[in-house]
Amino acid sequence: MNKPKMTTEKGVPSNSRVLMLLGQLEKLNGEAVLSDAEVSRHITSKILHLIQTQEKTRKEITAKGSSGMEVILASLESTRDLQTILNILCILNELVSVGGGRRVGVLVSKGGTAILLQLLITTSKEWPPSEELMLQLHTILAKVGPKDRKFGIKARINGALNITVSLLKQNLQNHKLLLPCLQVLRVYSANSVNAVSLGKNGVVELLFKIIGPYSKKNTSILKVTLDTLAALLKSKANARRAVDRTYVPTLLAVYQDWHRNDTRHRHVHIRKAILGCIRNITNIKLGRKAFLEADGMRILYSTSTECLSVRTLDPLINTSSLIMRKCFPKNRLPVPTIRSVFHYQLPHIPAEGPVAQLYRQPPDVDDVVDESDDNDDTEADTENDTENEEDEKNHKTQVARGGASGSASARCAAGLGFEYLATDWSPVLGVPLPPATLYCRNDDIETDISKLRPKENLTRPLEDLKMYECFFPELSENFQGYSFDSSKSCQTPAVLPKSLAPIVVPTAHAPSPLSLAQGELTDLPLDLDSICISKDGPGGAGGAGEGLAQELERVALEEDTLNGQSQSPVVGSLQGELEHDDDCSSHSSGELGVLEVPDTAALLPLHDPELYIDMVKGTKSVPQYTEVAYPDYFGHVAPTFREHILERVYGVQRAKIFQDIERMIHPNDILDKVVYDLDLKRSPVIDDGESLKFNSQFESGNLRKAVQVRKFEYDLILNSDINSNHYHQWFYFEVSGMRVGSSYRFNIINCEKVNSQFNYGMQVLMYSVQEAISGHPRWVRTGTEICYYKNHFSRSSIAAGGQKGKSYYTMTFTVTFQYRDDVCYFAYHYPYTYSTLKMHLQKLEALRTPQIYLRQDVLCETLGGNSCPLLTITAMPQSSSNDQICQFKNRPYVFLTARVHPGETNASWVMKGTLEFLMSPSPMAQSLRESYVFKIVPMLNPDGVINGNHRCSLSGEDLNRQWQRPSPDLHPTIFHTKGLLQYLSSIQRVPLVYCDYHGHSRKKNVFMYGCSIKETLWQTNVNAAACDLQEDLSYRTLPKILSQLAPAFSMASCSFVVEKSKESTARVVVWREIGVQKSYTMESTLCGCDQGKYKGLQIGTRELEEMGAQFCIALLRLKRLSSPLEFRNSSHFLDVENDLIESRCKVTSSTTYVLDEDEPSFMEEVDYSAESNDEPEPDPDPQETPADEDGLSDSELALRRS
Ligand SMILES: [Zn+2]
């Protein structure tokens, strides 16, 4: 160390006593090492005295700019005199014992760690070392260690580990020395390499000599010992060692002892530290086995239940439950295979596709419980940890910050242009771009922005695209000879010339949902072409006069043996029972009377039960459903009351987990009675009145199995998407046979996402048929004690993207039914079936006025044989004059799509709002129609919707990942929707706006994703500003307008980053390939809003439909803003730089494999851990002082956190 010059602040000579002394000390350091020991002893003892008596002195030495600490350390380094060393150590101890961590920080920053460790080595060689010296030295090291990130490595390299360990061994009874040594050891152990090395040297066994039964004495020592042990047990080798030495039962016995004796809860921190050790041992499989063999489940369960009433003991209960969940033996889901119950034979199976993979596996391997879990398979590696692991980590972070991305930005900063290569285009959010991704060229980027644009890449030849011409008759229509007075005028758009029709349009059935005239019904080549009431209704068990259950006969379609016979009698009987209010009330005092349906026509202009049944008849499902769910039949009138986001009740998750653990503790209480099972040919007949009845064999239903676990508790398993073995999230099922006033707990046990809005106030939706027939046909948010957590059902790696050791998640909710003999439905979100869409489209036709140009076509047929509707909406020209026709033909296109993901029903409700607005007679709607031509595909995935899928189509694939290369056979709706867009592009009529409506399961509010090169580059750390990249910022205008118009819309949640993983989504492909600059995904929350007018409320269909209407109004405003007259005023919409900066600061997390989202991954503040392997609390706070350890700091801390 260089000889520091003693200076004071600002270099002004001071008359301070201590500074004078330090000056003298400094002089001594400058002289020969063997200077007069007496003098240095004298000076240091004087300084010590001053420090002990005056806080002022301590301040002077450690003040900013003072070199006092340096002088003291230099003396310590140079002196060989024991007394002087002791004096200096005392000085240092005094200095750092108060004033918090700052003074320790000064000591560390002046190189104190190395000097102290060196001193430890040197003095240990002079055996026997001075006990006083070792005491002082370890006391100060115990404080320095936690403040020095590299302490563990430095100690190991210096050889200090063994010195402390031998000292411990020699002084197990010497409590005065034991405590600081253990404290230092605790810091050593925090380093994983040290932990392995200490374990090899017998430190685990050594620590177990200190751990003993309950005693009020030496609790500080015990606490540090346990913390050290817990740190060591993080090493798998040490955990194994502990298992081998049978320490698991020992720890459990010690825990029970403290639990029994610490009746006044003075030592919660010790009890928690014991649990910390058990927790770490049970991270390995052997540890969990030992824990179960030692009856750990029962011990922790009973101790925890005894703690439940004392809030300060929560940390113990939480850690116990964590351990128990981890050790709970993993079960298989009680299904024969996790593949979907239903199989759909694809026209061909691409060899590399997911379906081929799925069916290539031999039976029964798809659901193997992976024995290797929690990374156990890597345990051998732990012993070989490199010495430099921390350095490596640092190195990695540096690379991530300034490595590859740095070089890319450097190249761009050098003024080089660059462009994306379509084949190798991969900006990944938050991940540095590989250098190959960007190609820098010497093009002048400033004068040719289009160079930045991806090349339009028409994969289909122009002649091929001609087939879409017939879907755009508005471009050739001249309206000559048209009577513009006629109210029928708008029905004229040309019928498709058959030869031009590109797609196999079904001729025998459903030529178009809307042209389905009554007379044509007999042409339907379906099995379901007649309708009758089936007698296997839900109320079979009810006695006479029992009420609704018996009378509520299922609305069902049944195969009519008299195929082709007139429909009307059968439909008529339905009407008689369910619709004709007058008839029913007059002629039936009995069972038919209760089936009166309230006249909702006024409230639900687009709903018509009779029409719904007609529509269902044309809907083809893979399971060939013959039943209709009441909610879809009756319709849904949004409630007028507010539905608040639920406040989370404390301890719900814990209580649920304990109930789950009780299944293992008290196995005899478990019924395990299967009450519904799609895997069986015949569902079990449950008629004993002791169980609920389940059903979901109707459109969009997807319950696979229901198991009665306890009297009022059911485990439910959702079916996988067809031709898939996962994607469980959406649910829709029926329950009947309930008792009034009892609380039923429902657990959906095969959820896959790591977290859910069900943990943040979202409720399930329930529809009561009793409520419906008493005048309130509606879905309402229902359920208490809702939570979402990882469970003990093992998830096969085949269904978890290859990751082993994954578990499913449970979504649990509790419902108390209000009505006797009700039939209730539960759903993930407001259902919206394909048949409902068809009904709505047909009813929309009735809203047509002479001013409206409305066309409905069948774009194509789906794999499942259902037609995919395409709508064209604009305004009729006012006359057939040239300029009117010209204006008509030159309106820009707005292209909208929705519901590619079947589980995102909210997207359909938003689309409904859009369609209703577009068809409305209001001047604003008319103005909008006069401004644009709307091309709308309202349901991109009818098959998925019909069959109750959550994510996929019948091809077992996410259709929103197929836009780059859609297959005409496997993804016809995407292939042809893209074809329409490609056609528009080929005739230079690229749409002004494209928007795909989606639902978002993890975020609140409504928001948009758009595409911006600049913002993408920013997110990927390439310094776009340095590139002087010019980009038209108008992609922000529409979301900006929406954020001002629509209360549910949040600009802050929008993102304009293009991620590699989203490369094949509609939004990105339409932007890159078609060249639509304003290409968006609009995401609506499934939960609710946390800002704006709807803050704190769950979202309902009213708000969703409103959103769809406001989207239209925003388009109108967009048009006005872009007109030359108003352009000047539009600048306030484009205060983009601020927005950009905001969005740039947004933090995004890395994606984990669960379900592919359309949106950048998002990490909500998780304060309700759904992960059983989450560390409930960080490691013992390294900054805590020994004084804290005697208090209740841990539990207090935990309380503060909870
Ligand atoms: Zn989606």
Q: Which of 699, 1083, 1157, 1189 is an active site residue?
A: 1083
Quote the pLDDT of residue 464. 93
Q: Name the more confident of 100 and 266.
A: 266
> Beta strands 852-861 and 823-827: pairing type?
unpaired
pLDDT at 967 over 80: yes
When pLDDT is cut at 50, 70 and 90, the band that residue 14 belongs to is low
Contacts of 74 by beta carbon, 8 Å cutoff, 6+ apart = 1, 3, 4, 26, 29
Q: Say how far apart CA 788 and CA 755 lie, in whole Å.
A: 7
How many Cα atoms within 13 Å fall on the side-chain side of residue 1009? 24
Measured over the CA atoms of residue 304, residue 310, residue 316 and residue 318, the dihedral's sign is positive
Query: Quick one: pLDDT at residue 365?
Result: 55
- 31 band by pLDDT with thresholds 50, 70 and 90: low
AA letter at 949? N
pLDDT of residue 78: 85
Instruction: Give 625-659 pLDDT, tens digit per residue.
Output: 999 999 999 999 999 999 999 998 888 988 999 99
How confident is the prediction for the chain on average, in pLDDT? Answer: 78
| pLDDT one-digit tens code per residue, 55-66 | 888 888 888 778
As beta bridge partners, residue 1095 has 1089
What pLDDT shows up at residue 101? 76
Helix (H) or strand (E) holding 855: strand 852-861
Give the per-residue pLDDT at 456. 54
Predicted local confidence at residue 686, as pLDDT? 67
> 469-473, 569-573, 1045-1049 — which is least confidently predicted?
569-573
Check if the beta carbon of residue 172 is closer than 8 Å to that of residue 178: yes
pLDDT of residue 600: 65
What are 402-440's pLDDT values in tens digits?
Answer: 333 333 333 333 333 333 333 333 333 333 333 333 333
- Cα angle 637-639-643, degrees, rounded to a multiple of 5: 140
More confident residue, 244 or 584: 244
**Distance between Cα 974 and ligand 1 center (Å):** 14
SS (H, E, C) 891-944: CCEEEEEECCCCCCHHHHHHHHHHHHHHCCCCHHHHHHHHHCEEEEECCCCHHH
- Section 224-230 average pLDDT: 96
Q: Do 366 and 360 meet the contact criterion of CB atoms below 8 Å apart?
A: no
Where is average pLDDT lowest: 83-92, 704-713, 946-955?
83-92
Query: What is the model's pLDDT at position 504?
Result: 33
Please, which residues have CB within 8 angstroms of residue 634's CB and are 6 or more apart in sequence? 597, 600, 609, 769, 772, 777
Lowest-pLDDT range of 215-229, 558-572, 928-942, 1019-1033: 558-572
Average pLDDT over residues 366-374: 49
pLDDT tier for residue 511 given thresholds of 50, 70 and 90: very low
- Average pLDDT, integer, range 221-241: 96
* pLDDT above 90: residue 251: yes
Q: Tokens for 193? A: 């390499």
Q: How far is CA 312 from the centre of its chain?
A: 31
Flag the least confident range among 153-167, 669-683, 1121-1135: 1121-1135
Residue 615 Cα to chain centre, angstroms: 36
CA of 459 relative to ligand 1 center, distance in Å: 25
- ∠ CA 1177-1178-1183, rounded to 5°: 125
Going from the C-alpha of 899 to that of each of 186, 279, 751, 949, 951, the distances in angstroms are 56, 45, 21, 12, 10
92 against 354, higher pLDDT: 92
Least reliable range by pLDDT among 111-125, 343-357, 884-898: 343-357
Give all strands of the β-sheet with 933-937 in edge-to-edge order.
852-861, 867-875, 933-937, 893-898, 993-1000, 1078-1085, 1006-1009
Q: What is the per-residue pLDDT across 916-962, written as a single tens digit (0 to 9) for each? A: 999 999 999 999 999 999 999 999 999 999 999 999 999 999 999 99
Look at residue 637 in the predicted model and tell me its pLDDT.
94
Ligand 1 centroid vs 902 CA: distance in angstroms?
8
Q: What is the pLDDT of residues 1155-1178, one digit of tens each?
A: 334 433 333 333 334 443 333 333
pLDDT of residue 1142: 45
Residue 1007 alpha carbon to ligand 1 centre in Å:
13
Q: Which band of pLDDT confidence, cut at 50, 70 and 90, is reported for residue 458?
A: low
Do 1156 and 724 touch, CB atoms closer than 8 A? no
Instruction: Kindly report the three-state secondary structure assignment for every residue of 741-774.
Output: CCEEEEEEEEECCCCCHHHHCCCEEEEEHHHHHC
pLDDT at 823 over 70: yes
Q: How far is the CA of 671 from the centre of ligand 1 (A)?
A: 38
In the chain, % of residues over pLDDT 70: 72
User: Could you give the count of Cα atoms lying within 13 Å of 209 in the half-sphere of its Cβ?
Assistant: 12
Helix (H, G, I), strand (E, B) or coil at 661: helix
Ligand 1 centroid to Cα of residue 1047, in Å, is 21
Question: In this structure, what token pair is assigned to residue 993?
Answer: 């706006």
- State the distance from the centre of ligand 1 to the C-alpha of 197, rounded, in angstroms: 50
3-state secondary structure of 1199: helix
Whether the predicted model's global pTM rises above the 0.85 cut: no
State how far the Cα of 607 lies from the Cα of 837, in Å rounded to an integer. 10
> Using omega within 30 degrees of 0 as the cis cutoff, is the peptide bond preceding 461 cis?
no
What mean pLDDT do residues 436-452 have?
32
* Better-scored residue on pLDDT, 582 or 213: 213
Kindly report which listed range (183-197, 1053-1067, 1114-1128, 1165-1179) carries the lowest average pLDDT score.
1165-1179
The pLDDT of residue 1180 is 36
- pLDDT tens column, 294-337: 999 999 999 999 998 888 999 999 999 999 999 999 888 999 88
901 CA distance to ligand 1 centroid (A)? Answer: 5
Residue 98 confidence class, pLDDT cut points 50, 70, 90: confident
pLDDT of residue 1153: 30
Q: Which range among 434-448, 666-680, 858-872 shows the weakest confidence by mean pLDDT?
A: 434-448
Region 253-259 average pLDDT: 95
pLDDT in tens, 349-369: 888 878 887 777 766 555 555
Residue 598 is predicted with a pLDDT of 57
Query: Active site includes 1083?
Result: yes
pLDDT of 381 > 60? The answer is: no
**Statement: residue 513 has pLDDT above 50:** no
430: left (phi over 0), alpha (psi -120 to 50) or beta: left
